[in-house]
Structure 1
Amino acid sequence: MSTTHPASLRVALVSEHASPLAELGGPDAGGQNVYVAQLADHLSLRGHDVTVYTRRDGPGLPPEVLTPGGVKVVHVPAGPAARVPKDELLAFMPEFGSFLARHWRAARPDVVHAHFWMSGTAALCGVRGLGVPVVQTYHALGTVKKRHQGPEDTSPPQRLTIEAAIGRACRRTLATCADEVEELVAMGVDRDRISVVPCGVDPRHFAPVGGPRDAAGPRRLLAVGRLVRRKGFDRAIRALAEVPDAELLVAGGPEAGLLFAEPEAERLRKVAEEHGVADRVTLLGAVPHERMPHLMSEADLVLSLPDYEPFGIVPIEAMACRTPVVATAVGGHLDTVVDGVTGALVAPDRGQDHRLAEVIRTLLDDPERLARYGRAGRARVLAHYSWERVADGVARVYSSTVRATPSLSGAVR
């Protein structure tokens, strides 16, 4: 971690649907909530004055909350005081932006950091005429989602046009991986105004737990994530059919007692039955955050096999627990998982399941290599992916942006 920090700044984080106070596990509560909460806390620890603006999504929420870490969270009245799916929030962004404009005219921030594309529209509206630079993190790009989901994409139809306009209007865009940089450039964002700072993980929480697993039991494979088709859990199940003496645990989705009503869980059960491995596949449902390090530490391999992934937090959580990873060569995986050093990268092609099974078997048959990959993974997380490292990188971007020439920020038209 850096021993010196940039001068104190007044930082406004805009996260329209992902509150840092949210309880994880809801349909729109996940990685972005964690990112905003951790970034805010670590920036505050460095002496920055941090305020997070997020939409009021409940009737009993106070206008402002001060967190134990000294971060102010402002609940913005924009739209109904109720939960609304994030893909339906665009209509409320003008109201959100007007609220920000009133607040920032009274107390001007030094830099605004917008999270997700809709937050970018509100942030750019809020800084109009103030000369305050806006830094944008998309967290997920509509171009990638549309490419992979096609007609199943529920994003507003104007998302791609607005995302591109935000990238041209904001002062700097923060990408989380090299693959995202190329997507942004293809959208028309100036490469010279893109910085790369990855997502992070808490290596004190995600750390090795317990000793070596019982060598007499079945080898354990673990897959973690939301129960959606693109996460590739069916690939892991089909590969298991060619990996004898191994079991697969799948963590994610609703709590175990509600899995019977989850369509993707039912589909995965059918895939397991069709491939003769139903007795070796266990769907765990939601696993509490405090249990995840135990679950990951007890696995021989963590499988992260999505069709696409903007960054992918699961591999670095596993690596922090000293567990090797087999991951598809997509998105942030290309940065985080070093093939042949911390794990193995495999093609996202679903026609390559025999090759996937071969990679898994080869690794399971080589305990010394697994141990070496595990040690290298933990070291890589400590060197690059702790929240301290992430916050240092983001703060440097803020400081350079504030020192730069007057902001190019303006309204998205």
Structure 2
Amino acid sequence: MTSTLDPAALDAEPGGPGALSIALVSEHASPLATLGGVDAGGQNVHVACLAGALADRGHRVTVYTRRDSPGLPVRVPLCAGVEVHHVPAGPPEQIPKDELLPHMPEFGRYLARTWRGALPDVVHSHFWMSGLAALRATRELGLPLLHTYHALGTVKRRHQQVADSSPPQRIALETELGHGCDRIIATCRDEVAELGRMGIPATKTGIVPCGVDTELFTPRGPAAPRGAHRHQVLQLGRLVPRKGAAVSIAALALLPETELLVVGGPSADRLDEDAEVRRLRALARKAGVEDRVRFTGGVPSAQVPALLRAADVVLCPADYEPFGIVPLEAMACGRPVVASAVGGQLDTVADPVAGRLVEPGDPEALARAVLELLGDRALREACGAAGRRRVLRRYGWGQVAAATEAAYCEVLDALPRVTGVGAV
């Protein structure tokens, strides 16, 4: 059966199993990247925070990511115990992640050459193309490999259909990777079910959720200035159609005296050039709510907690969401969440305790749930407090790192240790 590693049940003290040399492979999502671009988001944060939290537990962590600029040094310290290693695979320039597959064999060969000189104890790859590169190298060297998908091609194809820009062989390669690695670390129950439909045995899968920085995202601290409207609802994240901002705009027509703040996308000075912003503004004009929708553009991560604290309700109406970090950030700030009942949000947003779950793509259902919360301040405060408690209990990076460490140790305990290079 599927192994579910509950972070709250694990010993969070560092150094329990002894220090490990850990290789995290994240081919397109560098922990050093500036967030807000099309391919820079939750995975970058996840890899950076997981690496730091594992180092806090006494481990030595190296993150391997593709060199996408000619001026990057080979090795860059990230924090105490963590180093970023830039891998020369393909031209040293920005390349959309869906075009990186031809460069993964080169990435894998580089990993094998590098690791041959000093073997890591365990390899943990993030995203399917990272997994392909890591699978090649770990098979050559006889190293244990754990993998986190972060998103699955079957889900993307189901929802985006002809708009799916992934390589056509993605699903077949993801399936091969699932059979070839030693353990899959899924982030939610919905992902486990999807992997089962792909034919990957549940015995290979454990669940460790994504995490949130509970010291940065907290109810304490300043709130951003609000507009003149009585209520404010907020949507935060990349500005791509699947995130459901169009649903929030349609729902706004049913929410009197309420402003919708949309945070994310290009910088504020480039909003007028963005095709998705233009589409959403046209929808707002058609719905008669243009004067109540405000786009901030992308903002530095340090400003996000204040924006969340200023909101009465945080909206997460994505069509699909492999996990979804924003609900955790909102809950950590003590804000109630109304989210679509998809993916990881089914696990994180406890309805009715911490917020509400609604059907995706349904503006009327979204508006009803938001109206209930806007009409009852005490209910909003109770949901926010419950969400904060839930995050502290389950989703802090200390708990997530402890659960990830436990998964590493389960794999290491089940495999013969490598005593020489070249084992298969």
TM over 0.5: yes
2:277 corresponds to which of 256, 265, 281: 265
CA distance in structure 2 between the partners assigned to 1:74 and 1:288 by the alignment: 24
After the TM superposition, list the runs of 4 or more consecutive aligned residues in structure 1 that deviate by more than 3 angstroms. 210-217
Whether the 8 Å contact between 2:223 and 2:306 is mirrored in structure 1 is no
Letter of the 2:373 partner, please give it.
Answer: L
How far off its partner does 1:216 sit?
A: 8.9
CA distance in structure 1 between the partners assigned to 2:339 and 2:328 by the alignment: 11
1:2 aligns with 2:12: yes
CA distance in structure 2 between the partners assigned to 1:321 and 1:398 by the alignment: 31
- 1:119-155 alpha-carbon deviations (Å, 9 max, x no partner): 1111111112422110000111111000000111111
Q: 1:221 to 1:129 in 2, by over 3 A?
A: same
Q: Which residue of 2 aligns with 1:56?
A: 67
Whether the 8 Å contact between 2:64 and 2:84 is mirrored in structure 1 is yes
CA distance in structure 2 between the partners assigned to 1:333 and 1:323 by the alignment: 15
2:401 corresponds to which of 387, 391, 404: 391
TM-score scaled to structure 2, two decimals? Answer: 0.92
Deviating more after overlay: 45-54 vs 197-206:
45-54
Letter of the 1:74 partner, please give it.
Answer: H
Q: Which residue of 1 aligns with 2:321?
A: 309
Q: 1:302 to 1:73 in 2, by over 3 A?
A: same
Q: 1:290 to 1:211 in 2, by over 3 A?
A: closer
Q: 1:212 to 1:373 in 2, by over 3 A?
A: farther
Q: Which residue of 2 aligns with 1:128?
A: 139
Unaligned runs of 5+ in 2: 1-10, 418-424
Unaligned runs of 5+ in 1: 408-413
CA distance in structure 2 between the partners assigned to 1:39 and 1:64 by the alignment: 18
Whether the 8 Å contact between 1:131 and 1:406 is mirrored in structure 2 is no
Q: Equivalent residues in 2 for 1:13-412 (5 A)?
A: 13-208=24-219, 209-210=221-222, 217-348=229-360, 350=361, 352-406=362-416
CA distance in structure 2 between the partners assigned to 1:212 and 1:10 by the alignment: 42
CA distance in structure 1 between the partners assigned to 2:34 and 2:257 by the alignment: 37
Q: Which residue of 2 aligns with 1:411?
A: none
How far off its partner does 1:35 sit?
A: 0.8
Q: Percent identity?
A: 55
Deviating more after overlay: 396-405 vs 301-310:
396-405
CA distance in structure 2 between the partners assigned to 1:265 and 1:282 by the alignment: 11
Letter of the 2:182 partner, please give it.
Answer: R
Whether the 8 Å contact between 2:226 and 2:232 is mirrored in structure 1 is no
Letter of the 2:409 partner, please give it.
Answer: S
Whether the 8 Å contact between 1:35 and 1:200 is mirrored in structure 2 is yes
Q: 1:365 to 1:401 in 2, by over 3 A?
A: same
CA distance in structure 1 between the partners assigned to 2:225 and 2:88 by the alignment: 51
- 3-state SS of the aligned residue for 1:227? coil
Letter of the 1:398 partner, please give it.
Answer: Y
Q: 1:102 to 1:266 in 2, by over 3 A?
A: same
CA distance in structure 1 between the partners assigned to 2:196 and 2:307 by the alignment: 39
CA distance in structure 1 between the partners assigned to 2:350 and 2:150 by the alignment: 22
RMSD, matched Cα: 1.7
CA distance in structure 2 between the partners assigned to 1:309 and 1:147 by the alignment: 13
CA distance in structure 1 between the partners assigned to 2:222 and 2:37 by the alignment: 30
CA distance in structure 2 between the partners assigned to 1:269 and 1:405 by the alignment: 56
How far off its partner does 1:69 sit?
A: 1.8
TM-score scaled to structure 1, two decimals? Answer: 0.95
Whether the 8 Å contact between 2:222 and 2:309 is mirrored in structure 1 is yes
CA distance in structure 2 between the partners assigned to 1:248 and 1:120 by the alignment: 39
